[in-house]
Structure 1
Amino acid sequence: MNVGEIKNYLRIDHTLDDTLINSLYQAGQEYIKNAIDVTADVESFAKYKLFERAALLLTAHWYENRLASVQTGGGSTNIPYGVTPLIQQLRGQYYYDKEREANDNQPVE
């Protein structure tokens, strides 16, 4: 996904924050990848639409909330609602595909 597409999602029509937006999107991708499998490559998740959606949600959240925030009632949160269920769905699909690929590569006896 390019910066123009991300900015369209964020409804931003100026170029002042292009570098920041790109950086936030890449950080979002890395965050999601690490939540699923730290040994994987970000490119491994390119085929999953949920990966792009979760990265966009994180990018939007981090762009709109650039200062640290504290949730009342104790504890802090940096992940918007909806990202965790997407990560869980991605984790399931990723490991299902990985296991299926491993089984497909097994020699036939």
Structure 2
Amino acid sequence: MVITDEAFNLSLVKNYLRVDSNEDDTLLQLMIDSAKSYIQSYLNQPFESYVDIPVEFTLAALNLVAQWFENRAVGSEKATHEYLYNFTGLLDIHRKWLPETSVTA
């Protein structure tokens, strides 16, 4: 499975979240688009730079959307830490690490 409009779409997200109604479709689509952008930014490279998109990207995107959809308010520090641990655990192995820049005074 790859993160494309065909594979990571509203139908997949609604199935993952177990949402049956169409009431939140606009919100979910916004979250889908945001999750794709967020992941590419975190990876420091666009999806197009990958020959094959790792399945971890789809799972990370699903987890992002689920987090945003189910917790529409700022959560506890513990919940945020657990969420970030899972997210980075899925994506760090694929991340393009940028060289550290030193700041001189």
Q: One fold, TM greater than 0.5?
A: yes
Partner of 2:92: 88
Partner of 1:12: 19
CA drift at 1:52 = 0.7
Letter in 2 for 1:87: L
RMSD: 2.4
CA 1:59–1:79 in structure 2 vs 1: closer, same or farther (change >3 Å)? farther
2:33 counterpart of 1:26: yes
Partner of 2:68: 62
CA distance in 1, matches of 2:19, 2:86: 22
Are the counterparts in 2 of residues 58 and 79 from structure 1 also a CA contact under 8 Å? no
CA distance in 2, matches of 1:44, 1:60: 26
CA drift at 1:31 = 1.1
Are the counterparts in 2 of residues 50 and 90 from structure 1 also a CA contact under 8 Å? no
- Structure of greater Rg: 1
CA 1:79–1:20 in structure 2 vs 1: closer, same or farther (change >3 Å)? farther
**Equivalent residue pairs, number:** 88
| Match 1:77 to one of 64, 75, 80 | 80
Letter in 2 for 1:41: P
CA distance in 2, matches of 1:89, 1:68: 28
Q: Could you state the TM-score of these two structures normalised by the residue count of structure 2?
A: 0.70
CA distance in 2, matches of 1:6, 1:22: 9
Mean CA deviation greater in 78-87 or 5-14: 78-87
Gaps of 5+ in 1: 96-109
Q: Could you state the TM-score of these two structures normalised by the residue count of structure 1?
A: 0.68
Q: Which has the higher contact order (CA 8 A, sep 6+)?
A: 2
CA 1:67–1:78 in structure 2 vs 1: closer, same or farther (change >3 Å)? farther
Gaps of 5+ in 2: 1-7, 98-105
Are the counterparts in 1 of residues 9 and 32 from structure 2 also a CA contact under 8 Å? no
CA distance in 1, matches of 2:57, 2:10: 16
